[in-house]
Amino acid sequence: MTERQLTDAEKLTSVLKLAFNNDRSMYDQFCETVQQTVPEAHAAVLRGSAITGLRYVDGAPFDADGPGTSDLDLTLVGAEVLRYYSAFWIPGMHSKPLSDRDPDIAPELSPLRSRLMEMVHRPVNIQGTRDWVQHFRGDIMHQPYLTLFGTIQEL
């Protein structure tokens, strides 16, 4: 199924089933925790296999390597969130993700990452990006994403 075929309701259904054990209150708590902890983010999105059900790299199903093995790819949107990061794919515009691979690139976000991982019992990677990058990736390149809160401004 391509991004154009997935409705927001279908994306939410997939995320709830795959990442939140069909527990809407856990999902709502996840979203609220992110929004309260990083008020600079005027939007946040989940991307990747939690949306599509398949890993991008090899097409394997979500959690193909066992329960809790697939990660959640959280992206914080807004120019101000980039202040947290010291490593970028596009300097000043699109960070590398705070993850097990790069655990020290956003130390102020590490407690949030730990809290979210404890909540969902799986890895959570947290990236920062500007609106136009998220708009380009999601709406122009059709890389699936689910908006957790806020809106992505088309620039």
Q: Is 73 contained in some domain?
A: yes
Range of the domain at 12: 3-150
Residue 69 belongs to a domain: yes
In the prediction, which pLDDT does 155 show?
Answer: 62
In a domain, 155, yes or no: no
pLDDT band at 1 (very low <50, low <70, confident <90, very high): very low
At residue 27, does pLDDT exceed 70? yes
The pLDDT tens digits of the residues spanning 53-85 come to 998 889 999 999 999 999 999 999 999 999 999
Reply yes or no on whether the pLDDT at 3 is more than 80. no
The DSSP line for the chain is --GGG--HHHHHHHHHHHHSTT-HHHHHHHHHHHHHH-TT-SEEEEETHHHHSB-TTT-PBTTTTSTT-S-EEEEEESGGGGGG-S-EEETTTEEPPBSSSSTTS-GGGHHHHHHHHHHHTS-EEEEEE-HHHHHIIIIIS---EEEEEE-PPP-
28 occurs within a structural domain: yes
**The pLDDT value given to residue 23:** 97
Q: What is the pLDDT averaged over residues 85-101?
A: 96
Q: How many domains does the chain have?
A: 1
